Amino acid sequence: MRKKKILIIDDEPDVVTYLSAVLVSNGFEAFSISEAANAMNKVCEVKPDLICLDIVMPKETGISFYSKLRQDKKCGKIPVIIISGVVESEKFDFRSYIQDDSIPPPEYYLEKPIDVVGFIKKINELTSNKKLTKKLRAS
């Protein structure tokens, strides 16, 4: 079975190093890019199973990238976990960032510093092949 690919989009090198180490030590393949402005190219190259996305970045925000991603026909369904230190998880209001109702909210939001156990649990949940699991159970 191939390792699940996780793409980290964050401009803080310490965060990228930490998240990469956590992911690799839990059996994932980690990739990263430090700016949202070129992230679509990386998404097309890596074809990740999930994206971890920071909100505040120079040049282009994570929210702007997220909007583009969700509108992309090939990659728009990739699950996204927004990881940010800007807003507490209980107070994160996606619609205050994007008013376009055609763009669905991200699958999950985590605030920094992350809870590693919860982070890995959520990634496993979002990258599991539920259709395959249901099909196997039905057999």
Number of structural domains found in the chain: 1
Report the predicted TM-score, pTM, of the whole model to 2 decimal places: 0.86
pLDDT > 70 in the chain, percent: 85
Domain that residue 101 falls in: 5-138
Q: What confidence tens digit (pLDDT) does each residue in 14-53 have?
A: 999 999 999 999 999 999 999 999 999 999 999 999 999 9
Could you tell me the CATH number of the domain that includes residue 17? Answer: 3.40.50.2300
Half-sphere exposure of 40 (CA within 13 A, CB side): 16
Find out whether 54 and 88 touch, Cβ atoms under 8 Å.
no
